[in-house]
Amino acid sequence: MKIMKIGFKTTCFFLLLIFIRFLSGCENPEKNVYENYSWINEIRDDHPRLFFNKESFKQIKDRALMDEHELFMEMKHRVDLIIGQKIEFTDPLAPDGSQNTDHMYGTRAAEAAFLYLVLEDEKYLDLSREILVKLVDYYMLRNENNLNIQWYAFSRIDALAAYDWIYNDLADNERRDIGNVFLHAINDMQSADKGPVFRKNYGGIKTGFYGPPCLPWYAGIVFYKTGIDDSLSIRLLQKGYDDHTALLKYRSDVSGDDGGAASAVLGYCMGAYPWAEFNFFHTFSSATGFDIAKEWPYVPRFINYIFWNWLPADRQFGYGDANHRDNDLPVRYLHLHLAQMIHFYGSTQPELTALAKWMQTKVQRQQPGVFPYTRFLLTNKFDEIKPEGPSDQLPRARHFENMGQLFMRSGSGPDDTYALFTAGGLLTQHRHYDNNNFVIFKKGFLTLDTGTRPQPGLHLSHYYARTVAHNCITIKMPGEILPDYWDSGPALSEKEVPVFPNDGGQNNMTGSEVIAFDESAEYVYIASDATASYHQDKAKLVLRQFVFLPPDHFVIFDRVRSTKPAYKKRWLLHTAAEPAVNSSEICTDHWGGRLFCKTIFPENAELKKIGGPGKQFWSDGRNWALPELKPEDWNYNNMLWLDNNHDLFGQWRIEVTPGKSSMDDIFLHLLQAGDTSLQSMANSIPLKTDDMVGVRFVHEKKKYEVMFFITDKAGGKISVDQNGQHILEEIFSEKVKPQKGLY
């Protein structure tokens, strides 16, 4: 009996342990993994662990040899070409490492390492090892001479991956000799303690985060528990995690419920910016086994933002720091970025996945050079989700509040009219001083952002980013000193001009607020107060009300109050080609499109045409032309496309000014877009009461009346008659219509 009693107690004890383990097993195993760095304990002890691990590699290898066989063979061909060749750095002490391809040895090392793991051919192991030995010495040499490696850190991430992937096949002394130099070189690169370095990218979490500051995460993962300065690797690991999660939080906040990115400039947010998110997701998963992407569901909402930026013939509006060379939509990486979204979010966001697959059909499938193994990692394809395009019932406008942009369109075809209005928003990254700016596209850029971004060259900082280069209001206060804008200094052929031209423009990028927005099938209404964009000593009110009447008409009303009557006000309209001016009406063409614009108020307005050779970029008494670069200029080879006479850089503008000086002024304009067969604009007449002004015009048997208050209150009303009957009569909303989700 005694033996039986002990056995019973023991049995109960073990049953209790099993029950406790069962309860703990029912808890979410990821519940606290992201808190207090507890995920560090989950990092695998073995290698590889950067981008893939021993378990995931089989599927990745199969994908490389089957689905992506052609891509794999292209990689093999690239690497085979350098086997047996001397590993040489063309100019190891070049002032700017971005001006040569020496840094790309990091990417070749990763490719060779990947080929070795797939094919098990030791010639690729030998090549990867040889490159790494010489590459880390190259890194140290440039660090010691306070020189950058390259603007982007991508090839250094590749080099870290190469070391991780061949780690198991390196001798102990090779791991130490390469790894010790490598780890400390990376630490030196990400540190800001050594002082400024020419063309070193210090961009943090509110930028693309693709310079040296992103490297601690990858170095920390690779060198964790290798015995090569473990305390440093832990510090880098924690810093890298903190920085990346702060970046994700920032981008999530910017995205909001509409979609967006850390910059509204498409060349950035559709180009290099998404790598920060996707590479972090891949490497966190490969190192710890946890899918951190699902903690950040905002990422695929970016597809919605891309859609509204998309103009016919794969073009864009040219917002912010776009270079305006062609205004092409930057789709180079788009197919791959969409594939990454599908891989990470296909199971949780099928609607956006279907849209991503539809969008992939609109662009070519290209493999970038920076992370040439990425497509092999995308093993989640979700074949059951079929491509599905946007709804036929799109709104006339979409307000991306955090991005500071409102997009309008009459439809989604090649003959439709498209417009962008800039106001509000959270971002300053690559943004210009252009609050209340508008761009109109119909078969061509009928109004446009002007200038471009030479590097070096004064044009970038002294014209291109300034209010005068946009379709805005300026108020000239003598002696005003305008704020700085990022620049790369003058070209060798130019003299330094430390004071920026006083264009009468804005001094605050985020000083505007959308105070009303409404959209319906009949019209879009926007009211934006940009007063705080201007120096408080010159502006008391700068209010723009913008009405889009689909398919082709716009009514723009501005009320401006200056602190002194003598501060001259100008209403600006930029065109690609020389406009014809006939009294208060202008006409201009671009490509297959035509724009008419009529000044309704002020009644005594003066229209002045500025532009043409020698005056394309006129501001404050001089032309800020594009520089004639010399071969000795640091970026000469990348700037061969500069051309002062390029149409998309803007060649002309119209300045509308009141006939007499006053503290309070109004500007009311009627614009009509069409193709080049449009011979004249709609007949219009001004309307005026004690407290309102407006315009009446007739188009295609419809009579439109649009009126605005001239008191402090923003607002007005609209009516539309057809065949003698009211079909619309409304007071403009005083609220911002909420929008969220797709389209």
Residues 157 and 96 placed together within one structural domain of the fold: yes
Domain assignment present for residue 6? The answer is: no
Q: Say which DSSP state 736 is in.
A: B
Q: Which of 676, 697, 729 is the last residue of a domain?
A: 676
632 exposed, middle or buried (CB, 10 Å; 0-12, 13-18, 19+)?
exposed
Residue 360 CA to residue 349 CA, distance in Å, equals 17
pLDDT in tens, 621-652: 999 999 999 999 999 999 999 999 999 999 99
Res 21: pLDDT: 43
CA distance 388 to 357: 7
What is the residue range of 211's domain? 38-377
- The pLDDT-based confidence of 2 (bands split at 50, 70, 90) is very low
Residue 716 inside a domain? The answer is no
Q: Are residues 354 and 423 in the same domain?
A: no
pLDDT band at 31 (very low <50, low <70, confident <90, very high): low
pLDDT at position 22 is 40
Q: Which CATH number is 640's domain given?
A: 2.70.98.70
- 44 falls within a domain: yes
Shared-domain flag, residues 566 and 617: yes
Whether residue 407 is contained in a domain is answered as no
Q: Is the pLDDT of residue 24 over 80?
A: no
Query: In this structure, is residue 403 part of a structural domain?
Result: no
Do 539 and 468 sit in the same domain of this protein? yes
- Name residue 738's amino acid: P
Interatomic CA distance for residues 400 and 422, integer angstroms: 10
- Per DSSP, the three-state class of 421 is strand
Residues 352, 420, single domain; the answer is: no
What's the token pair of residue 343?
Answer: 């891989």
Contact partners, residue 47, CB within 8 Å, separation at least 6:
164, 165, 167, 168
Q: Are 466 and 503 in contact (CB under 8 A)?
A: yes
Q: What does the alpha-carbon distance between residue 129 and residue 178 come to, in Å, rounded to a whole number?
A: 9
Residues 96-106: pLDDT tens digits?
Answer: 999 999 999 99
Position 354: which residue type?
A: A
Type of residue found at 206: K
Residues 6+ apart with CB under 8 A from 460: 451, 452, 453, 454, 485, 487, 488
| pLDDT at residue 488 greater than cutoff 70 | yes
* pLDDT interval class at 182 (50, 70, 90): very high
Instruction: Classify residue 69 as exposed, middle or buried by CB count within 10 Å of its CB (0-12, 13-18, 19+).
Output: exposed
**CA-CA distance, 65 to 73, in Å (whole number)?**
9
Question: DSSP letter at 615?
Answer: -
d(CA 508, CA 542): 13
Domain presence at residue 420: yes
Binning pLDDT at 50, 70 and 90, where does residue 742 land? confident
Shared-domain flag, residues 174 and 308: yes
pLDDT for 391: 85
Same domain, 444 and 300: no
What CA–CA distance (Å, rounded) separates 13 from 6?
A: 11
Residues 579 and 482 in one domain: yes
How many structural domains are present in the chain? 2
- On the question of pLDDT at 457 being above 50, the answer is yes
* Stated pTM of the model: 0.94
At 232-268, the pLDDT tens digits run: 999 999 999 999 999 999 999 999 999 999 999 999 9
The residue-averaged pLDDT of 542-549 equals: 98
Are the C-beta atoms of 310 and 248 separated by less than 8 Å?
no
Q: How many CB atoms lie within 10 A of CB 509?
A: 21
Per-residue pLDDT tens digits for 200-235:
999 999 999 999 999 999 999 999 999 999 999 999
Is the pLDDT at 1 greater than 50, yes or no? no
- Do 650 and 318 form a contact (C-beta atoms < 8 A)? no
Same domain, 422 and 362: no
Helices (H), strands (E): how many in the chain? 16, 24
- Give residue 230's pLDDT: 97
Are residue 364 and residue 434 in the same domain, yes or no? no
Averaged pLDDT score across all residues of the chain: 94
Mean pLDDT of 130-143: 98
Q: Are residues 477 and 585 in the same domain?
A: yes
Mean pLDDT of 455-469: 97
- Does 28 fall in a domain? no
Question: Where are the strands (E) in 413-478, listed by range?
Answer: 418-422, 438-441, 445-447, 473-476
Residue pair 626/469 in contact (Cβ under 8 Å)? The answer is no
485 Cβ neighbours under 8 A, 6+ residues apart: 433, 460, 461, 465, 466, 500
> Model confidence over 313-371: pLDDT tens digits?
999 999 999 999 999 999 999 999 999 999 999 999 999 999 999 999 999 998 768 99
Tens digits of residue pLDDT in 294-315: 999 999 999 999 999 999 999 9
Decide which of 643, 660, 676 is a domain's last residue: 676
- Host H or E run for residue 656: strand 652-657
pLDDT tens digits, 3-23: 344 444 444 444 444 443 444
| Amino acid residing at 259 | G
What integer pLDDT is reported at residue 104 of this predicted model?
A: 97
Q: Report d(CA 595, CA 419) in Å as an integer.
A: 13
Block residue for tokens 């990417």: 107
Last residue of a domain, one of 676, 707, 731: 676
Q: Are strands 473-476 and 438-441 parallel, antiparallel or unpaired?
A: unpaired
Q: How far is CA 302 from CA 203, 261, 379, 473, 477, in A?
A: 21, 7, 22, 31, 40
Same domain, 268 and 344: yes
Residue 94 belongs to some domain of the structure: yes
Closest CA to 468 of 540, 574, 597: 574
Contacts of 546 by beta carbon, 8 Å cutoff, 6+ apart = 421, 438, 524, 525, 526, 527, 528, 554, 555, 556, 557
Of all residues in the chain, what percent carry a pLDDT higher than 90? 92
* Domain CATH for 51: 1.50.10.100
Would you state the structure tokens that stand for residue 523, as one six-digit string?
């019209």
pLDDT, tens digit (0-9, with 9 covering 90-100), for 667-711: 999 999 999 999 999 999 999 999 999 999 999 999 999 999 998
| Distance from C-alpha of 287 to C-alpha of 223, rounded to nearest angstrom | 12
Label residue 81 by pLDDT band (50, 70, 90).
Answer: very high
Amino acid at 485: Y
Q: What is the pLDDT of residues 563-599, one digit of tens each?
A: 999 999 999 999 999 999 999 999 999 999 999 999 9
Amino acid type, 313: A
